[in-house]
Structure formats: C-alpha cells, structure tokens
C-alpha cells in the first residue's frame, strides 16, 4: 500500500546526474512518528513533520521549482525507514509547468520498473536496435576479467579504493565498471556514490541491469551487463552490487543480498574470475552480522555454485588495534572464513590472505564518495571497509593485458 501527500516546494537543494533534492511542505503531517520540535502534533501526539526532504528524478518527472505543488509517495518515510529519508516525487499535483520534454524519436524498447506508474523506456546495450548488438550477439566470455561481487552498495567505493591502492601510479589508466543490480534502489540516480565516483574518474561506467535503470549503459541481465563491461566499455575490472538500500527480514533467505551468490555464478559461467567480497563488521550489535555476516555465508556457501576467490584481510598490529577491531574479531573472521572452504560447502572457495596496513586506510580516506555502511563510518567500523578494499586489491592482482582497441560505435543517450 502507498501513503500519499501533496507537497509544495520551499527550496531546491543539491543536484547530481538525474536527481535533485527539494525541501517541501506537506499538506498534512506524516503519521506514526513521535513528535519532534517543529512537528505538527495531533491530538494523539504522534503526528510527524510537515516539512521534509524530497527527491525528484529529473529525467522522469522534471525539475521542480519553488512554489510547485507535487504529488509525493511518502510510504517509506511514513514508516521511518532509513534509506535515503526522502519523499519521492511522482509528478505535479496540478498544473504541469516543469515536466521534461517528450523524448526524441529513437531506438530502444527495454521497459524498466515495468508496469509501475514510473516505468521508463531505455535503449539496451544488447538489444537489436543498439549499435553494440553485433558485438554482444555472440559474446560469451569475459576473457578472465576479474569480477568483484558484494552484497551492499556501500562496499563499492571501498572496493575501488582497494583497486587503486594496488594499482598505485597506474590507477588512472584502469577502467572499472559498476554493474548495479535491482535488489536495492532501481534508479541509478538515487546513488550519490555513483555520481561522486564518476565525477572523480574513479569509475568508468555504470551499467544498470534487471529492473534497475539510469546507468551509462542499460542491460537486461547481469550476464549481458558483464559482457558489455568487457566488450563495449572495455573495462579491466567489474564490480557487481545492488543499488543503495536493501531488503532484509532477519531470516536466512529473506535478504536481497543473497543475489551475490548468483552473481558469482554469472561471472564464472562467462569465464570471468569471481572475487567474493565479504560483508564484515566489528561494530554491528547483532551477532549474526559480527565478523562475517550470515548473509555472506549464505550467499557464498548455499547460492554460489561456482568457486570464487575470497580475500581475507591480514591486519598489521596498528590496524588490528583500531577501535572495534582487535584480535578477537580477527580470530572470529578467520574461523568463519574457513567454513567457506569446508567439504560441506558448495563450492569450495579459495581464501586469499591480503595484508592490510595503515597505508590502505590512507587510501580509503581519499575516496571521493563517503564511506558509510549501516550508519557507520570508516572510523566507526574499519573492518567493514578494509575487507571490501582487500577484495579490490586482489582483483587488481588478477588483471591481465587485453585488447584496448576502443569500440568505435556509440550508444545514444
């Protein structure tokens, strides 16, 4: 079910490719929240705020201006869900004065966010009308390209930081693709991380697959997204993870991140080199996420049917002595990692020890995208980001020279 409000734009805020933040006043308060200073409080004392942040996907609904009345979906905001903290603009509430123009006639028949009010039609990199269709029609191999798989979007900047740390002075020549799956946010524009990494030239291309949309390239499946990363974008390394936000029910299987195991299978099927990044925490209060999260253990032992390399950080004393790390966490992590290679596990993955010292932390701090996972920063939970980074380090170790002749065809925006 959906919770709707009419909102009037007070001011506009930050913008990035495909999105703009707004401050809006709602026609009536949000339900179900304890009152805070400035809230419009009803007789039961539970009414929520009347001024909230909103997000407009400008390619879909236009670029609202102060004074515009908007129709807003506030369902997640009303329930107090943390991801984003936005009311989402569905469209103008009355007179449409700032809608985007009709798209110019052109190719493309892939419909994403299908059969929702905001379904969008895009040109798929692999569809018949694409100039890259001939390249991908019979493409069937990644030629050994390393593919780092992670279950959380927040791992993306740390993985790329690890790649660049290993590359050193040659980092600027590396081409890295991010393949965004549809387990979290569907619009790529929701991610300020993608925008920041792209703007800093840390990321070569974003490829949105499945129901996700808004990437530099659009693909139908993880498989065609990987093949496009290799044969169209000519990338050296690919990273696969869901978009921002994820769905979890506190059960073994009810979590969108189990798709990380399926991504391992896709990379292996296409002759890539799967590198399974572990979700690790030294600060999470939930035991099932302390050390290696049970989500990683489930995805890589029960869902992945192909073997992968699993990098495990070997911290120096300086790193191990950081707050929330310590020797007990190191020992727990290593003991859990051994279960990924046990005979009862399918498949038997290969653990790879990767040294982690303070210079890696220094590289992580240079990330143009903020490092934050489950509300915790690098200083709050260094093990989380260091473990993601060592996956990037190992992926760089696996890179091999390949044909860098550019694909001379172009795909219309």
Start-to-end CA span in the chain (Å): 34
3-class SS of residue 338: helix
Q: Same domain for 138 and 87?
A: no
Angle CA(313)–CA(318)–CA(323) in degrees, nearest 5?
85
Q: Same domain for 144 and 88?
A: no
Ordered alpha helix ranges (H), 270-325: 294-298, 317-320
Does 141 map to a domain? yes
Whole-angstrom distance, CA of residue 125 vs CA of residue 134: 10
Does 410 map to a domain? no
Angle CA(253)–CA(258)–CA(260) in degrees, nearest 5?
170
Q: Same domain for 147 and 72?
A: no
Encode burial over 144-156: b for 16+ CB neighbours within 10 A, e otherwise.
ebbbbbbbbbbbb
Does 64 map to a domain? yes
Ordered alpha helix ranges (H), 33-131: 58-61, 75-78
Does 356 map to a domain? yes
**Cα R_g (the chain), whole angstroms:** 22
Q: Same domain for 42 and 166?
A: no
3-class SS of residue 360: helix
Does 99 map to a domain? no
Whole-angstrom distance, CA of residue 126 vs CA of residue 411: 11
Q: Same domain for 187 and 311?
A: yes
The CATH number of the domain holding residue 74 is 2.40.50
Nearest to residue 393, comparing CAs of 291, 304, 275, 226?
275
Structural domain range at position 376 = 133-397
- Please count the residues of the chain: 413
Whole-angstrom distance, CA of residue 238 vs CA of residue 159: 10
Q: Same domain for 318 and 377?
A: yes
Structure tokens at 98: 């700032």
Whole-angstrom distance, CA of residue 279 vs CA of residue 277: 7
Does 360 map to a domain? yes
Q: Residue 104 phi/psi, 5° resolution?
A: -65, 145
Q: Same domain for 226 and 355?
A: yes
Does 40 map to a domain? yes
Q: Same domain for 86 and 138?
A: no
Indicate the residue among 28, 59, 92 that finishes a domain. Answer: 92
Nearest to residue 148, comparing CAs of 140, 156, 139?
156
Q: Same domain for 284 and 228?
A: yes
Does 123 map to a domain? no
Angle CA(113)–CA(300)–CA(257) in degrees, nearest 5?
25
- Residue-by-residue pLDDT tens, the chain, 413 positions: 678 888 999 999 999 999 999 999 998 888 755 444 444 444 444 566 789 999 999 988 889 999 999 998 888 787 776 556 788 999 888 654 555 666 677 788 888 888 776 778 899 999 999 999 999 999 999 999 999 999 999 999 999 999 999 999 999 999 999 999 999 999 999 999 999 999 999 999 999 999 999 999 999 999 999 999 999 999 999 999 999 988 888 787 888 888 999 999 999 999 999 999 999 998 888 877 788 988 899 999 989 999 999 999 999 999 999 989 989 999 999 999 988 887 665 568 999 999 999 999 999 999 999 999 988 999 999 999 999 999 999 999 999 554 445 454 444 43
Q: How much is the pTM?
A: 0.84
Q: Same domain for 78 and 146?
A: no
Q: Same domain for 160 and 271?
A: yes
Structural domain count, the chain: 2
Q: Same domain for 273 and 146?
A: yes
Nearest to residue 235, comparing CAs of 303, 143, 153?
143
């Amino acid at each position: 079910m959906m919770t709707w409000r009419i909102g009037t734009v007070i001011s506009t805020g930050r913008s990035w490719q495909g999105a703009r933040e707004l401050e809006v006043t709602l026609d009536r308060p949000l339900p179900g929240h304890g009152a805070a200073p400035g809230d419009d409080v009803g007789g039961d004392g539970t009414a929520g705020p009347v001024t909230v942040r909103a997000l407009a996907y400008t390619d879909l609904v236009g670029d609202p201006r102060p004074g515009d009345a908007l129709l807003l979906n506030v369902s997640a905001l009303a329930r107090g869900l943390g991801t984003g903290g936005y009311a989402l603009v569905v469209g103008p509430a009355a007179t449409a004065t700032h809608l985007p123009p009709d798209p110019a006639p052109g190719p493309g028949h892939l419909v994403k966010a299908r059969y929702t009010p905001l379904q969008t039609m895009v040109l798929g990199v692999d569809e018949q009308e694409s100039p890259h269709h001939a390249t991908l029609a019979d493409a069937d191999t990644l030629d050994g390209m390393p593919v780092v798989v992670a279950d959380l979007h927040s791992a993306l900047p740390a993985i790329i930081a690890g790649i660049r740390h290993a590359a050193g002075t040659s980092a600027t020549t590396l081409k890295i693709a991010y393949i965004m799956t549809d387990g979290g946010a569907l619009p790529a524009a929701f991610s300020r991380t993608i925008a920041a990494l792209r703007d800093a030239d840390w990321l070569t291309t974003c490829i949105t697959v499945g129901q996700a949309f808004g990437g530099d390239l659009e693909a139908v499946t993880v498989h065609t997204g990987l093949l496009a990363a290799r044969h169209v974008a000519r990338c050296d390394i690919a990273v696969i993870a869901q978009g921002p936000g994820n769905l979890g029910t506190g059960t073994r299987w009810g979590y969108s991140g189990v798709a990380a195991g399926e991504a391992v299978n896709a990379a292996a099927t296409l002759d890539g080199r799967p590198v399974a990044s572990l979700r690790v925490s030294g600060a999470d209060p939930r035991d099932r996420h302390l050390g290696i999260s049970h989500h990683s253990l489930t995805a890589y032992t029960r869902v992945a049917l192909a073997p992968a390399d699993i990098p495990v950080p070997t911290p120096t004393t300086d790193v191990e002595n950081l707050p929330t790390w310590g020797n007990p966490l190191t020992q727990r992590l290593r003991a859990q990692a051994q279960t990924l290679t046990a005979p009862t596990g399918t498949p038997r993955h290969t653990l790879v020890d990767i040294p982690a010292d303070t210079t890696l932390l220094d590289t992580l701090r240079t990330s143009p995208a903020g490092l934050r996972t489950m509300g915790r920063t690098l200083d709050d939970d260094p093990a989380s980001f260091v473990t993601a980074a060592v996956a990037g380090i190992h992926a760089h170790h696996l890179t091999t020279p390949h044909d860098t002749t550019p694909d001379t065809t172009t795909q219309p925006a």
